[in-house]
Chain A
Amino acid sequence: MGISKWDWETGQKTVVESLSPIEGHGWQEEPYVSPDGETVAAIVQVDEGVFSVRTNDTVWENTFDKIWGLKFSPDGRLTAICQQDMEWVLVVDGEPMGETTDYIWETKFSEDGSVIATMYKGMERYGVCVDGEPWEELFENVNQYTLSADGAHAAGVAQVQSLGQADIEGFKKGIYTVVVDGVRWPNKYLNVWGPAFDATGEHVAAQVRPSVHAYTIAVDDKPWAATYGQVWEPIFHPKDGSVVAPVRVAGKWGVAKDGNILWEPRYAQCLYLQYGKPGNKLWAVVAPSYGEFTVACDNAAWDVTFPVVTDLVVSPDGTRAAAIGNEDNTNFRIVVDGKAWDGVYDMAWPATFCPGGKNVAAMVEKDGKRIILVNGKPFERSFDMAWPPIFSEDGAKVLIRAIENNSYVRIVADVARF
């Protein structure tokens, strides 16, 4: 269900009056909310060794021996990793998706939520399970999996050769490669990290270690000719198929594009590369000098620096960016377009741009209270608990999902009210 179909009428609604455990339940775990804010859910112990999921004031009919990993998909379906009689299965809105198996974990979704995947282990073999269907070919190990934006493809790093105990020479011959939809790349590498799809889902780039001391990027199993002291996560240009990645040369970080230096290595750190949708500008978190982090756009760093910068978010049109600056996990600031908003907080969550890119919202925490900010200004009251705000399609309203006085409330607020 798209954002435009959600209830955007300004005002507040109490979705669940009391979040106290339902009578008879042993305990209720931490709450999760649906993207549209209409549902709050939690794992509940209904009896000794018997678990279920509470959604608003009802409880799933099915019960399980164990439940963990509660997650809402972007389209609002509620998923949980459940165990019954020693076997595991993904349960979606109370119903199992696919067959049970030895183990599943790491639930992921396509961008619109229509595809749901997990890691999968059966008979000591590993793969990805998409909408309840495991890959046909499974491997000795698979990790670091990812889904394409439309969910049509899944890729991971597979171990394709067994390794004896402490076999360091065997390791150096390469035992890892990328596997896409269960089909492995022909080449093997000492290590492979963080495979990433392009926008179409047809191409995959990954960090590879072709020899003991060399690191580079491989695109569809073709390593760049140049190697580096270290590399971080590559990303595809959203349109032209080129690939960029942070690379380390002689102790300094820069960016390489298709194997050629794009940003001359001069940073103490450079990571989290991002393009906006048009691919017009390239953004990154950089450290222009030791211990001083900021954001750079096309290799031009913002003036403001912090000991730590995380959660870079680029506006849909690629021209603006926001990030979180902090001092070793304290004194959090939201930084937008190179300027920190006034408030200083105990914690912060990633900012979000409205679809038009004009307004920015974020959630922060101060003295144990969650605060919703739009363009730096707080909502009129803070909450015992809340989730990051979401803009309406026209950017004129924000959805606030929060808990106050033990009730779960859903608030639609006009941006103009901030």
Chain B
Amino acid sequence: MSRIADRKVADPGLANGVASLTPEKIEKVVNQVLKGETGAKLKVYQETCMRCGLCSQGCHFYMSHDFDPSYSPVNKATETMYELMNKKGKVTPDQIYLMAQMAFTECNLCKRCAHYCPIGIDTGYIMSMVRRICYMLDVVPQYIRDTSHSHASTMNQMWVKDDEWIDSLQWQEDEARDEFPDLRIPLDKEGADVYYSVIAPEPKFRTQLIYQAAAIMHAAGVDYTMPSEPGWDNSDMCMFVGDYENMGRLKRAHFESAQKLRVKRIVMGECGHAFRSVYDMGNRWLGYKNSPVPIVHAIEFYWELIQQGKIKITHKYEKPVTIQDPCNVMRGRGLMDKLREVVHFLCEEVVEMIPNREHNYCCCAGGGVINCGPPFKNTRMEGNRIKAEQLKATGVHDVVIPCHNCHGGLEDIIGYYDLGMHGKFIGDIIYELMEKPEL
């Protein structure tokens, strides 16, 4: 069995944070969080876990490292949270470094293991509480920390300034008018049915996704709007960093911008973690049992449009595709059937990855791991050999990936393992196939 200490990765966020820790501070913060923020659940988990190891096969890290027990969910919990609980916070700064590395980069909070545990222990939850403690100790990997700073400062993930956001939408509207002369991206249209929300990488790097969404909304005749003011970004790295205070602030901005525009519901783009933030974590921190404004994930929205006959395609996608099931909208929302109905509507042939649906392996980018940046790219690559094997076994070249994180993660894996495959959003395919006006 390897040890986390053998694979320590240099990261300034972790190193600088640990440098200013004292054993007293660690003890105080650990006990504060354990006492004030974790309920009976953690204690029950620790006391009832029988160390049977059935969760191990649930974890892609374990499977990809030749069944190295160090990567087993139960070991991750044991080396981090259970150690903190047993020692009542009396651990060294060096240990905190390693615990942080494990919690932030060797667990995607994907919750797959919970399906394999006979008593349903949710190691993803345990690791997110380790992250919370690390955040309160100011020990967080540099790159993801920076995105959380952006979130707190601009209410979006990529330091997009207020004018740059509007400008990107207007630019995409302009571009799209060459193809659809009367297309609009309606800003701040009060009372629209749908508020369309995206994540900051879209205006920053993937503007074609905004273009495509606008084209689909236009063709389907959806009464929608996008806000000109902050709140438009549904993503949430504060959640993954353990900065729940600013997770709450972010979600307030998001929900309030939709409430202010008096829309019926929020439709979000193809993103998984953002769904968890608006549907599970951020809303609850604010005191809401559900989302104060209903959230519809793009998979579900496209499914609806197809059911209503509002998406018309000229032909089906001819090449065979496989499907990546994003954890947060599969295990978190149960969209596996709808995803398949959408993909089968669009594509001639689907070759499933095995296992799939709610048992699908995580992309290894989720849970903020990809956001920890270049220092941890190898952790993701080596930690998800199983996904590469899964992808390869399908024998297809195109992967339908309805999640931004999964996209980044799978593209990296495809490159690293030289699989010669390519990822596509559902929006990419709909746009490619949809009927367009003849100019």
Binding site for B on A (CB under 8 A): 26-27, 29-30, 45, 48, 66, 68-69, 103, 105-106, 119, 121, 126, 141, 143, 159, 165-169, 171, 176, 190-191, 193, 209, 212-213, 215, 229-230, 248, 250-251, 268-269, 271, 287, 290-291, 293, 307-308, 310, 328-330, 346-347, 349, 365
Q: List 6 A-B contacts (CB under 8 A).
A: A105-B166, A141-B161, A168-B13, A251-B36, A308-B292, A328-B293
Q: How far is the CB of A246 from chain B (nearest CB, A)?
A: 11
Q: How far is the CB of B222 from chain A (nearest CB, A)?
A: 15
Mark B288-307 against chain A: 1 for CB-CB distance below 8 A, else 0: 11111110000000000000
Q: Is B287 an interface residue (CB 8 A)?
A: yes
Set of chain A residues within 8 Å of B146, measured between Cβ atoms: 165-168, 171
Binding site for A on B (CB under 8 A): 12-13, 16, 36-37, 136, 138, 142-143, 145-146, 149, 152-154, 161-163, 166-167, 170, 181-182, 184, 186-189, 191, 228-230, 245, 248-249, 252, 259, 262, 264-265, 286-294, 373
How far, in whole Å, are A308 and B288 apart by their CA atoms in the complex?
7
Q: How far is the CB of B129 from chain A (nearest CB, A)?
A: 14
Most buried by B among A105, A167, A271, A290: A105
Set of chain A residues within 8 Å of B292, measured between Cβ atoms: 307-308, 328-329
- Of the candidates B191, B259, B264, B291, the one whose C-beta lies within 8 Å of that of A310 is B259
| B153 closest partner in A (C-beta) | A191
How far, in whole Å, are A193 and B294 apart by their CA atoms in the complex?
27
Given contacts A29-B186, A230-B245, contact A307 B288 (CB under 8 A): yes
Given contacts A141-B161, A168-B149, A250-B36, contact A291 B287 (CB under 8 A): yes
How far, in whole Å, are A365 and B192 apart by their CA atoms in the complex?
12
Q: Are A29 and B184 in contact (CB under 8 A)?
A: yes
Set of chain B residues within 8 Å of A330, measured between Cβ atoms: 294
Q: 10 new A-B pairs (CB below 8 Å) besides A105-B166, A191-B153?
A: A29-B186, A68-B187, A69-B188, A190-B152, A191-B152, A291-B287, A291-B288, A307-B292, A328-B293, A329-B265
Most buried by B among A69, A212, A251, A287: A212
How far, in whole Å, are A416 and B10 apart by their CA atoms in the complex?
75
| B164 closest partner in A (C-beta) | A103
| B229 closest partner in A (C-beta) | A106
Q: Are A30 and B189 in contact (CB under 8 A)?
A: yes
Set of chain B residues within 8 Å of A328, measured between Cβ atoms: 288, 290-294
Set of chain B residues within 8 Å of A193, measured between Cβ atoms: 249
Nearest 9 Cβ contacts at the A-B interface: A291-B289, A269-B287, A268-B287, A166-B146, A230-B245, A287-B287, A308-B292, A103-B163, A329-B293
- Of the candidates B142, B287, B289, B290, the one whose C-beta lies within 8 Å of that of A168 is B142
Set of chain B residues within 8 Å of A68, measured between Cβ atoms: 170, 187, 228
Q: How far is the CB of A251 from chain B (nearest CB, A)?
A: 6
Most buried by A among B13, B153, B288: B153
Question: How many A-B pairs fall under 8 Å by CB?
Answer: 107
Set of chain A residues within 8 Å of B163, measured between Cβ atoms: 103, 105, 119, 121
| A228 closest partner in B (C-beta) | B245
Q: Are A171 and B245 in contact (CB under 8 A)?
A: no
Set of chain A residues within 8 Å of B181, measured between Cβ atoms: 48
- Of the candidates B153, B162, B170, B182, the one whose C-beta lies within 8 Å of that of A26 is B182
Q: Are B162 and A119 in contact (CB under 8 A)?
A: yes
- Of the candidates A126, A171, A346, A347, the one whose C-beta lies within 8 Å of that of B149 is A171
Set of chain B residues within 8 Å of A191, measured between Cβ atoms: 152-153
Q: How far is the CB of A263 from chain B (nearest CB, A)?
A: 16
How far, in whole Å, are A347 and B193 apart by their CA atoms in the complex?
11
Most buried by A among B36, B161, B287: B287
How far, in whole Å, are A134 and B290 apart by their CA atoms in the complex?
43
Q: Are A66 and B170 in contact (CB under 8 A)?
A: yes
Q: How far is the CB of B210 from chain A (nearest CB, A)?
A: 16
| B150 closest partner in A (C-beta) | A171
Q: Are A143 and B162 in contact (CB under 8 A)?
A: yes
Set of chain B residues within 8 Å of A287, measured between Cβ atoms: 287
Set of chain B residues within 8 Å of A212, measured between Cβ atoms: 138
- Of the candidates A126, A209, A290, A329, the one whose C-beta lies within 8 Å of that of B289 is A290
Q: Are B249 and A168 in contact (CB under 8 A)?
A: no
Q: Are A290 and B191 in contact (CB under 8 A)?
A: no
Q: Are A215 and B162 in contact (CB under 8 A)?
A: no
How far, in whole Å, are A218 and B23 apart by their CA atoms in the complex?
33
- Of the candidates B162, B289, B291, B373, the one whose C-beta lies within 8 Å of that of A106 is B162
How far, in whole Å, are A148 and B153 apart by their CA atoms in the complex?
23
Q: Are B162 and A105 in contact (CB under 8 A)?
A: yes
How far, in whole Å, are A307 and B289 apart by their CA atoms in the complex?
7
Q: Are B288 and A69 in contact (CB under 8 A)?
A: no
| A102 closest partner in B (C-beta) | B163
Most buried by B among A27, A190, A308: A308
How far, in whole Å, are A124 and B225 apart by their CA atoms in the complex?
28
- Of the candidates A169, A268, A291, the one whose C-beta lies within 8 Å of that of B16 is A169
Set of chain A residues within 8 Å of B288, measured between Cβ atoms: 291, 307-308, 328
| B138 closest partner in A (C-beta) | A212
| B37 closest partner in A (C-beta) | A251
| A159 closest partner in B (C-beta) | B153
How far, in whole Å, are A291 and B290 apart by their CA atoms in the complex?
8
Set of chain A residues within 8 Å of B37, measured between Cβ atoms: 251
